[in-house]
Structures are given as structure tokens and as C-alpha cells.
Amino acid sequence: MNETAAKFCEFDEFLAHYAPLTPYGREEKARGTFYSSPQELENIYDLTADFVAFSRNRAALPAVGATSSASGRNKAKADKLAWHLRHIPELPSDGPASGPAGLFLVHRFLSNFKAVARLLPAPLAKKLGFRWNCAELLTLLDRGAQSGAFHIADSFSPVLAKLRRAITDTDRHLSGLRAERLAGIRKRSGLDFGNLDFLVIAEDRARPLCESGCVFTEPYDAGRVTAKPIMTPAWLELSGERERLRAEEGKAEALACAELWAAVAGAGAELEACARAVELCDRAFARARMARELSLSRPELSPADSPIKVSGARFLPLERTLAGYDLPYTPLDFVFDKRLAVIHGSNMGGKTVVLKTVTLLQLAAQSGFFVPAKKYSAPVFAGLAAVWGDPDDKAEGLSAFGLEMEAFNRAWAAAGEPLLLVMDEFARTTNAAEASALISGVLGEAASNRHVHLMLATHFRAALPREAAALRMLGFDTAAFRKQYKGKTTAGLREKLKTINRFMRYGLAADKSGAGPADALNIAAILGVPARIIKAAERSMEEKNAGN
Amino acid sequence: MDPISQLEGRTTFIVGSRKNAGKTTFLNYVLARRRRPAACLSVGVESGTADRVFGTPKPRVRLRPGDAAVVPASSLASSDAALEILQVYPAATAIGRPALARARREGTAEITGPATNSGLGGMLRDIAEAGIDTVLVDGAVDRITQAAARAEAGIVYVTRVEPGTLASAADAASLLAEAAECAAAPGWADFFCGGSAPAISGDHAVRGALTPSRAAEVPRDARRLVLEDLTKVFIGWREWSALRRRLKIVFARRLRLKAIAANLYNVTPRELEARLTPAARAKLVYNPYLTK
């Protein structure tokens, strides 16, 4: 259900700016939780607001009374916080089976957790659940850590230290014996292995070396063999001893690793609490960065049945597109004070944008984000749905009309709980009379269901129940356009859009007249529909009006 | 030509003409002869499930103290190089989590690598952060593209040449050497990352692989054929030569071919060289383990 709304308002584009830094935050992003508890949402907003204040700096957001050095310190702290969060790994879910790699992850997690806890102001750290109860475990793991690297160090086990010293001594002796042996082979045969394991030599050259026990050969091709030096019995004996020591070292490492994992398991509950705190911190910090980047503001959650009030709202994808065309974006102000709203208006007048904007704001707010509006106040719904003729919606055997009805049925099935239902150009693919009748039916049913908050944009006229407000987009300023252009046309899509944008008055008003807008022909003309067609259409309109 | 001096201080992809061409053997040769600390990893199908599925031995390398390698985390304990862990990456393949580890004493380690190009980029960054600038990547040519471009990487092409494959091996090496000489067209880089095509008259760009059928579709009036990089060339020498006669071929990202390492089996150097273009001959090195 919420998915249709998300797609309609291009929520993915909004979410693309949400960049948590830890695996825990990224998981929360992937879950895409839709919150319907006002208390939960207020908690998330509070934390986001705390981080907005924490990371405030003079350049981005001047703080009243903040000195330059204080704001600089905050910026530096925010940067450090981001660095440490970015370096927090996910705790291994496979526990001891993850071996030393898992211990590395636990150590890195705790080192960065500790640093984050120190950077956060104490009240905020407390709110997030940053309690430092793992000092003992970190001190223990620190014994295997150096400059961010981790290994099962000698200090974990006296046996390990002793074995490793023995291995180092053995390696030195082995290296000496090998060098001695290779020098002997070189002297005898001229073959210089250097530090290579094998050489490829002519078969006839290898034969005497083979017979004298200097090298072991294997076929390479028809005339050549790979030759490997045969080491002396002393080397072989010492090599066997090295293998034994290495096996002992492996056992001692495994034992030390198991002991460390026992300590980690003992701190399991604390580590889980740390992971929860990290997720809370990461998501609030990421939401705060996003709020600053996109100039978002905290939504106000109002009681059920309250009006939806919007001031200075921006539909971000459109704002970006218009910026690409060097066109100004007009932020929207509107109040939906009735439970049902029917919006009429010009083609390209912004009906769909109004619906998309309110859907984006509500979905963002209920996903725990600040919103792209100066002010947004709305109740909390159990679900959002959009019925809008999704071009990707396909089902075998169903026409566009069939798919739209199917989408409506799916959305309506959720009307047992508070639902914000957005319908754009409903029934657009059928005839005007039946479309109007269908819209009347939907409005009637929605009027009798107090759970439903409906916003419907349409060109069709239908009888409205008293629970519904009739609204219209201000539309195209035909008089100003005619005065300016006097029948001239513009070339190029960019110019056409600029012209429409210049004369379109974006905004909502109460629709008292009940008459439809009459500027589709102007828009069509600007968009380059041939003048003869436009003239014929105008004549047809005049004849129809005269007949009426 | 001394291949070692060509490879130190940079990232080099050691790619093979086919399985068992001798990539890992060449890699171990470089490791035995280089003078500076190095890092190794593998990319492509061999670093993931295939070796486990087919039961073939996974590539092992010999490390000196201070060298680094991307290893399966599950193999850390079995390496005798006393590895210390520098980074652990999320599990991406059947072999589980890869880890970047540094040798604390001489020994061998099994190498693995990332599952994705972005994973490769992250590993190369971590290796650079560890202060190692000689990086040797064992593996698949199709995984080079973006990471290689970022890392200013070079390629060593290892080819196994036998009498039955002499002609095709020589053609492949010649084509690669010719392609590596082609000019760069950096203005097209965005196009291959999904951006729009720059308006350059006479240019015809092909996204993805240049196959024989796509080569046949290149317009007659095109003056330049733009490809992402030389790893996208999937046509034979004959088709390549025909295209080169008609138009100029350029690459949005230029990859540097450092050497063509030929492992000859019952083929003489003279027989191979007679079939190579001058550009390929200039890059030729023979099996470095060969001794007269």
C-alpha cells in the first residue's frame, strides 16, 4: 500500500539523500519503516533535532550566540563523529565461528563505539543509550591490536610467545640451510634458483642433476622439465620440526581465540545494547545531515481528523528538474481543512504536483524524516496509498482502466484504519459521464468512512458530499499571456516550458464557480500543436457554448 | 625487458588468456623478485565459488613480512605467515568474508578477492591506506574496468602458447598490444557511467562489449569508434584490423599494457615472434622460470 504512494511521489529520490554510515543504519534504511505511532515519530524527530543542533556550524546554519570557535569545534566534532561511525562494522552474527576475523570486528566496533560515546554531549549520549559497559572487554582485545590491526598476539598466551620464538629461530636455520644447499647446486651445475621454487630447464641438462640427487624433475614440454631443488636431510628434518611447531602454534592460537570469544559472549547483552545505540545515533545523525542538506523542517503531528496544513512545500524532484531548465520553483501553500478534497485545474497547472507534494511530505514525516516545507502539520495515518495509473503497473488481460480499478480496490482494502488516499486523474481512461459517476461513487463511500482522508485530482465534475472541499489550481494567466505574446509561438521545449511556467499561477484556492478551467487550448498552442487545429478547437468550443 | 621494475609502485592486473595460463605462477615470480612490500588479491570467478565447486586448488602466494593479501577470513588460522588483520569485508561469496591481512613473518596465504567492482575499489583504497603501493591482482579481465581506471593500473597478459594455439594466441596478444596503443577519449568517460553522449561529430560509441555483430553495425560514415576500455574488445584480430583500416578506435579509459608474458610449450620464441605485430613483440617477456 505505502509502496504505491512511495512510487507516486518518487520517494526513492528523497531517500537517496539519506546516507547512514553504519551497517545498522543501512539496515534500517533498507527496512524502510513506516511509523504510525506519533510518540515513536516524536522521539525520532527529537533525536534528529538534537543532531541538527550538534552539527550546527557557522557556515551552514548560523547559531544564535554561537562564537566562531565554538561552531568550528562543533563542525570538527561532527566530522569526527562521522569518521568513527563510518568505521563501525557489524558485529559478527556467527560468533566464535568467525574466529580472529570476528574478534577484529568486535574490537573495531568497540574502539569506535567508545570514541563516538566520547564525542556526543552527555545528555544526547544518554538519550541514545550510549552506556560504556565494555571497557574490560576492549582492554582485553586491545592486547592484540596495534594501529587498527588485530591478531592473536603473544600476550594472549605465554605458550604462543614461546612457540613463535622457536618458529622464528627455525625459519632462520632453514633459510641458512636452503641457501647453503642452493649454493652447492649452483657450484655443481650452474643452476641458480635464487629465491624461486623451481626452474624450467632442458631435459638433457636435468638428467645428471636428477641422477646426483640435486633436483627433482617433472615434464614441462617435449624437451624441457621443471626442476625443483632437493633439500638436504638436515633441512628436511628441521622443516618437519617447523611443521610441528606451526601445528602447536595453531592449537595455541585456537585456544586463545576461544578464550577471547568466551569473554565476548559474556558481554553479549552489552554489545547488543551498543548496537542498538549505534543504530539510533546513526539514523538520527544521517537524518540531521539530510535536513541540513535539503533545508528540511520538523513536521508537526496533529490529532486525528485535524486539517493538513502546508506552507512553503517543495516537491524536490520537480524543483531539481526546473533548476535544470533554469526555471524558478514556486513553493506550495495550502490547507486541506476537510477530510475529502477534490482538486480541479488547468493542464500543467500543478494538480498532480500538489498531490505528489503532500504524499511526499506525509510519507517522509511518517518515515521519521524532516520534510521539505517551511511548515507541515498533519495527523498520523495507518497507511498511505496512491491510485494514479502507474505506467509500470501491468497484469495480463487488464486494460489501463482495469488496472486502475484493481489498484483502487487494493488501496480501499486498507480503509479499515486511518488512510490517506491520493487519487490522480481517477478514471481518466473512460468516458466523461461514467468517470464522473465513478468519482461520485468513490466520494460518497469515502464520505461515510471516517478513516479515509481522500485527495482527488480530476478534470471531471461530480456532485460533492458536504465532507468534501472543492479546490482549484489558480491556473494559467490567459490575459497576461495574450497581452505579452499576441499569437506568437515559441520554439524548443525549454522555451515552451519557460513560457508556461511564467504564466502559470501555481497555488490552490476554493473552487466556488464550479466551472472548469478553459486554458487547455492555450497550453496546447504553446506546446506547438498546429495553429489550424487550435483554431478549429476554439470554433468548436464557441459553437458548443452558443448551443448551450 | 625487466617486468619487475614495471610493476613496482603501482597496481597491476595479471590476466590470463585462459585457465591455467600461468597467472599465479607469474604472480609468485614477481613476489619472489620484487624489492618493495606488495599486496595481492584475486578477482573474478576464481576468487569465489568456482574453485570450491570444481575442487581446484585456490591460488596461494608467498608473502614476506610487511606484505599484505586479501584472504578468506576462514583461512587466517591456517596461514603460516602470522597474519594480522587490517580489514574484514562483508561476506559476499561462498568462501565467506574476505579479510585484508598483513604478514608478520614469511609464509604462504590463500588469496581471494571482492565480489564486485565497488568492493575491489574499497580493497585497493584500504591497501593504499596500509601504505603499500605495489598491488598485484590475479585474475579476470572483465573485472578490471573501473577499479583499474581509478588506480592508474597496468596489465600483464599471461598467455600459454602451444602448437595448436599458436596462431590464435599470437592474434590475441597482437590485438591486445594494438588496443593498448590506441588513444584515450576521456570526454566519453561519463557516457560509459550512464551519462549522456558528448556531441562529437563522426564518433560512434559502443556501450559494453564490442562483439562481431556490433562491429558490423558501426556506421560507414563513422570516423572514430569509442569503446569503454580494451577489456571490452571481443572481436578477433581480422575484424579488429578491418575496423582499424576504416576508422580510428579510441578508449574512454586507457589501460596500460605492461607486458605480455608468454609460456611456450613446444613452441620456439622465433615461431611466436614471427606471428606477432611489432607492438606485441615490444611487450613480450618469456616464462621467467626458463633457464638455458
Q: With an 8 Å Cβ cutoff, is A220 touching chain B? A: yes
pLDDT surpassing 60 at residue A159: yes
d(CA A149, CA A161): 18
- Other C-beta atoms closer than 10 Å to the C-beta of A140 total 17
Is B77 close to A100, i.e. CB distance below 8 A?
yes
d(CA A366, CA A225): 73
Signed CA dihedral, B138, B140, B143, B148: sign only: positive
Strand locations in B98-228 (E): 98-103, 107-110, 134-139, 154-161, 203-205, 224-227
Confidence of residue A404 (pLDDT cuts 50, 70, 90): confident
Interface of A with B in 181-210 (CB under 8 A): 191-192, 194-202
Alpha helices in A120-232, H assignment, sequence order: 122-128, 135-142, 158-189, 203-211
Average pLDDT over all residues of chain A: 87
d(CA A361, CA A357): 6
- Beta strand pairing status for A332-336 and A308-313? antiparallel
pLDDT surpassing 60 at residue A82: yes
Please give the full DSSP string across A201-224, using - where no structure is assigned.
Answer: EEHHHHHHHHHTTSEEEEE-SSSE
- Beta strand pairing status for A308-313 and A375-379? antiparallel
* Mutual angle of helices A99-119 and A268-294, in 10-degree steps: 60
Q: What is the pLDDT of residue A69?
A: 63
Signed CA dihedral, B190, B193, B199, B204: sign only: positive
Q: What is the pLDDT of residue A512?
A: 73
Going from N- to C-terminal start, the domains of chain B cover 3-163+255-268, 183-251
Instruction: Give the range among B82-96, B145-159, B255-269 with minimum mean pLDDT.
Output: B145-159
The model's pTM is 0.83
Q: Tally helices (H) and strands (E) across chain B.
A: 10, 14
Q: What angle do CA B47, B50, B55 make, to 5 degrees?
A: 110
Scored b (16 or more CB within 10 A) or e, A189-219 reads bebebeebebbbbebebbeebbeeebbebee
Spacing of C-alpha B78 from chain mean position: 28
Q: What is the pLDDT of residue B54?
A: 44
Is B266 close to A250, i.e. CB distance below 8 A?
no
Please give the full DSSP string across A424-449, using - where no structure is assigned.
Answer: ESTTTTS-HHHHHHHHHHHHHHHHT-
Tens-digit pLDDT profile for residues A261-272: 999 999 999 999
Q: With an 8 Å Cβ cutoff, is A145 touching chain B? A: no
Q: What is the pLDDT of residue B48?
A: 42
pLDDT surpassing 60 at residue A60: no
Instruction: Give the range among A101-115, A128-142, A495-509 with minimum mean pLDDT.
Output: A495-509
Is B97 close to A98, i.e. CB distance below 8 A?
yes
Of A196 and B99, which is predicted with more confidence? Answer: B99
Closest partner residue to B73 (CB to CB) among A89, A99, A149 is A99
d(CA B5, CA A539): 83
Confidence of residue B16 (pLDDT cuts 50, 70, 90): confident
- Beta strand pairing status for A375-379 and A300-302? parallel
SS3 B101: strand
Q: What is the pLDDT of residue A535?
A: 77
Is A199 close to B289, i.e. CB distance below 8 A?
yes
Q: What is the pLDDT of residue B52?
A: 45
Please compute, for residue A501, the number of CA atoms within 13 A of its CA located in the half-sphere on the CB side.
17
Closest partner residue to B32 (CB to CB) among A149, A191, A196 is A196
Residue A423's DSSP bridge partners are: A387, A456
Instruction: Give the range among A267-271, A399-403, A491-495, B135-139 with minimum mean pLDDT.
Output: A491-495
d(CA A529, CA A70): 61
Mean predicted confidence (pLDDT) in B133-151: 69
d(CA A341, CA A438): 16
Question: What residues have CB less than 8 Å from A497, skipping those under 6 apart?
Answer: A325, A327
Identify which of A352, A281, A289, A239 has the alpha carbon closest to the alpha carbon of residue A124: A281
Confidence of residue B254 (pLDDT cuts 50, 70, 90): confident
B278 exposure class (CB count in 10 Å sphere: 0-12, 13-18, 19+)? exposed
Tens-digit pLDDT profile for residues A194-225: 888 899 999 988 888 888 888 899 999 998 99
pLDDT surpassing 70 at residue A501: no
Is A199 close to B266, i.e. CB distance below 8 A?
no
d(CA A373, CA B118): 36
Q: Which long-range contacts (CB under 8 A, 24 or more apart) does A165-174 make?
A: A166/A245, A167/A242, A167/A245, A167/A246, A167/A249, A167/B105, A168/B105, A170/A238, A170/A241, A170/A242, A170/A245, A171/A242, A171/B105, A171/B106, A173/A238, A174/A235, A174/A238, A174/A239, A174/A242
Mean predicted confidence (pLDDT) in A219-244: 94
Please compute, for residue B289, the number of CA atoms within 13 A of its CA located in the half-sphere on the CB side.
24
- Chain pair A-B, CB pairs under 8 angstroms: 75
Q: What is the pLDDT of residue A492?
A: 67
Q: What is the pLDDT of residue A260?
A: 97
Residue ranges and CATH numbers for the domains of chain A are 18-134+267-294 (no CATH), 158-245 (no CATH), 300-515 (3.40.50.300)
Confidence of residue B49 (pLDDT cuts 50, 70, 90): very low
Is B85 close to A101, i.e. CB distance below 8 A?
yes
d(CA A117, CA A106): 16
pLDDT surpassing 60 at residue A61: no
- Rounded to 10 degrees, the C-alpha dihedral A399/A405/A408/A413 comes to -120
pLDDT surpassing 80 at residue B69: yes
- The residue of A108, A182, A195 whose CB has the most chain B CBs within 10 angstroms, and thus the best one to mutate to test that interface, is A195
Q: What is the pLDDT of residue B275?
A: 95
Contact by Cβ (8 Å): A299, A365: yes
Q: What is the pLDDT of residue B144?
A: 60
Residue A336's DSSP bridge partners are: A308
Mean predicted confidence (pLDDT) in A520-532: 73
Identify which of B48, B31, B22, B202 has the alpha carbon closest to the alpha carbon of residue B108: B31
Mean predicted confidence (pLDDT) in B122-138: 93
Please give the full DSSP string across A223-248, using - where no structure is assigned.
Answer: SEEEEEEPPPHHHHHHHHHHHHHHHH
Confidence of residue A292 (pLDDT cuts 50, 70, 90): very high
Percent of chain A predicted with pLDDT > 70: 88
d(CA A292, CA B62): 51
In the block, which residue shows the cell 547483552? A269
Mean predicted confidence (pLDDT) in A248-267: 96
Q: What is the pLDDT of residue A67?
A: 54
pLDDT surpassing 60 at residue A131: yes
Tens-digit pLDDT profile for residues B23-39: 888 998 899 888 899 99
pLDDT surpassing 80 at residue B44: no
Instruction: Give the range among A60-74, A427-441, B3-17 with minimum mean pLDDT.
Output: A60-74
Instruction: Give the range among A128-132, A427-431, B78-82 with minimum mean pLDDT.
Output: A427-431
Q: What is the pLDDT of residue A97?
A: 92
Confidence of residue A62 (pLDDT cuts 50, 70, 90): very low
